[in-house]
Amino acid sequence: MSVEVPQFPGFRMTTLGNGLKVIVREVHTAPLASVWCWYKVGSKDERPGLTGVSHWVEHMNFRGTTNIPRDQVKGIIEQFGGSWNGYTWIDQTTYLETATRDALDRMLFIEAERMGSCLYDPGDCEAERTIIISELQGGENDPDQLLDQEVTATAFKAHPYRHPTIGWLTDLQSMSRDDLYGYYRRYYVPNNATLVIVGDVDAGEAVRRADQAFGAIPPGDLPARPRLVEPEQLGERRVTIRKEGTTAYFKAAFHAPAVTDADFFPMLVLDAVLSGAKGMNIWSSFRTPPPQRSARLYRALVERGLASAVNAALLPTEHPFLYVVSATVNEGASLDAVEAATLAELDAVRARGIDADELAKAKSQLRARLVFENDSVTNIAHQIGYFETIAGVDLYHELPARVAAVTADEVADVAARYLQPSTRTLGWFEPLAGGGDAR
């Protein structure tokens, strides 16, 4: 059945006979098209012993298919002057191509091949093992990234959000080709996927072409997905990493609502007041620094010379995740001072909320970010697919209205409930002058 959305002309949703959801949005500003294929599988679907398998499978799916030799995967799109990529995170895995509109059939062909015909040559699996382990070790040499990983693993006890998307080293060392291929065949089926096409296309014709490319791929029997609920945190947790380095880092993590929770948008406004508005596009929003000059944490830490940078992140996720405040400690300042100043600012907003001017400025900045992060067919296609994967595309259409509806009382309420000392996890990275590695 095909559904059109009246308030968005040229927007069509269709489910093919094999269960593949196809969403098309016509955007006729340039002769371009962007194709994203989304799979509802990410690191939250992994069990101990297979952490990192979603990300590794993503790598393998660029290694050639039955009808696309590995050395031609890149060239198919690049000959049209286009770009391609993909990523894996906690809730999803996705692949994209953006090129001129006359490349639409080639883009659909690539994604249909990726869904049904990847090869998983044993030699390629071993080559990717080496690449991914090197990537993991490179991340561990980044103190901020390492601290983020350890804080997340400490904040969660039960939910698989605690595992890093790249996986734990021992699992990457032991996983087999059969583990990878079996995971691919379980989750890379049309009834677990959403195909998004945005650009200078006719919606009806784009759906017909998608059906031609994907319609013959059979659906699969999806594994049961138990809903794991993280137990309530009853006391402050801490993690300290002491390792060779030159800069100290501080993090404070608080359990945060899922994107479908009524508390999410008041928390989003709260974050804009504390650290600057960042929008909701994890593909592009965080590449542009947020406006921070009037943000509370910037004034408390950077303007006072305690930190060279302060950031925070509230990300839209299917299940409750984390709100994380991060600070890079200035040379000459101490982790104790940065922690005290950060927690004092969070305690202040928890006790007194925000004022009307802060609310108005935060909402204005968020509205602007929502516009900027839909500035291309690639970004529009990302947002449609991302929100369809975690919550449903209707929420994507409601974002401006949901931000506009937030009140100062709602912000004060979520600050009081979510920023409690008993539910926080604090992280320190203390650099050692040389040698040593104690955690």
Choosing from 4, 26, 46, 58, the catalytic residue is 58
Residue among 222, 313, 261 at smallest CA distance from 40: 222
Q: Identify residue 431 by its one-letter amino acid code.
A: P
User: For this structure, is 339 an active site residue?
Assistant: no
Question: Sheet holding 307-314: strands in order across?
Answer: 307-314, 322-329, 249-255, 424-432, 237-244, 437-438
Q: Is 99 in contact with 82 (CB distance < 8 Å)? A: yes
- Taking the alpha carbons of 411, 412, 413, 419 in that order, is the dihedral positive or negative? positive
Measured CA angle at 309 (ends 239, 432), to 5 deg: 45
* Chain center to CA of 134: 22
How many CB atoms lie under 10 A from the CB of residue 260? Answer: 14
Distances in Å between the Cα of 173 and the Cα atoms of 45, 56, 428 are 19, 12, 28
- Is residue 157 within 8 Å of 231, Cβ to Cβ? yes
C-alpha dihedral sign at 291, 251, 265, 353: negative
Tell me if 122 sits within 8 A of 60, measured CB to CB: no
The contacts of residue 434 (CB under 8 Å, 6+ apart) are 244
Instruction: Tell me how far apart the alpha carbons of residues 390 and 385 are, in angstroms, rounded to a whole number.
Output: 9
Enumerate residues 6+ apart whose C-beta is below 8 A from 249.
143, 144, 147, 326, 327, 328, 329, 427, 428, 429
- Please provide the size of the chain in residues: 439
CA distance 195 to 28: 19
Residues annotated catalytic, as ranges = 58
